Amino acid sequence: MLRNRSVLVTGCAGFLGPWLCEQLIQAGARVVGLDRLYLKGSRIHNLASQVEMIEADIRDFALMQEIIQTRQITVIFHLAAQALVGEAAKNPVQTFKDNIEGTWNVLEVARLANAEKYTIEGIVVASSDKAYGDQAELPYLESAPMEGKYPYDVSKSCADLISRSYFHSFKLPVCITRCGNLYGGGDLNMSRIVPGTIYSIFKNEPPIIRSNGSPVRDYIYVQDAAEAYLTVAERLLSDPTIAGEAFNISKDQPVSVLEITRRMMKIGNSKLEPVVQNTASLEIEKQYLNSKKMREQFNWYPKHNLDQGLKRAFEWYFDYFLEQSNQNQYLKAAPMTASVISP
């Protein structure tokens, strides 16, 4: 369904973006990527010859209109967002602008395009499990209300509600995806538990746990999530009756922060005890999803269990850290070799 279509991916240079762009290229789509910052280490640069990469801010309404019209975009994956909980707590207004205003800009450009008989046939908006907020009933089902309390969570709740409003009010063909915690190669935010822990193991230092280790989360390998996004988009194009719906994307096997840290330490053969700082704030204690709807409607299942995904993540990060260390640009500590990764 995506072959020969012009597809826009906002936030293409982030963590999920390059993985999704790879899937789109394999599906035969003409991919236009948009981001306001292209970090040197982003995996998107590996696709430079296959993706038209545009430096732009999704809050620039006129520029968004120009891009969608001149590239004849018919499908949009809206991933662009300020994605860090800690950063949202420090800079809530900027997070609200990026995540809420940015979302309504993308949707309004699409609405106007459709009103002018220029057809946007499908939009997939990346929401989050954080959009549900802190609720008593677990795991979260798609029917649960949006009840974010903290800045990041609220920004995702609002973007989620706005997206569905554009469907109900204007019949815009939108679907919403709500993922658990993504992990895998290409996440350059070392404050996150997976890349941060692998970084510590690489340097032969004790891993740092910012919380008390007890928060429970879903973790889903990034490539599985990218495939889920593609699955939703292709079904939306073939069956417009699913427009306006939301879909949870999860492995459905929640684990605590301490457990996933210890699993990574085992994979990396680290004997050092993690340092539990217990300094994290504005975090929900238990948060995980039920992806039964996604599995039953689309016959979609994650291909990687947690240990398989973590081992693949280790391989990517060890290669990346070694390269940065050899260039004296990233690491100062003497690195361990990739041979420490357990089979």
Catalytic residues: 152
Helices 151-170 and 102-115: angle between axes, nearest 10 degrees:
10
First to last CA, the chain: 39
Identity at 244, one-letter amino acid code: G
Q: How many CB atoms lie within 10 A of CB 328?
A: 8
**DSSP-derived secondary structure for 162-226:** HHHHHHHHH---EEEEEE-EEESTT---TTSHHHHHHHHHHTT---EESS-S--EE-EEEHHHHH
Distance of CA 197 to the CA centre of its chain: 19
Phi/psi of residue 71, each to 5°?
-95, 0
CA distance 142 to 246: 6
Q: Taking a C-beta distance cutoff of 8 angstroms, is the pair 236, 298 a contact?
A: no
The residues pairing with 249 across neighbouring beta strands, listed in sequence order, are 179
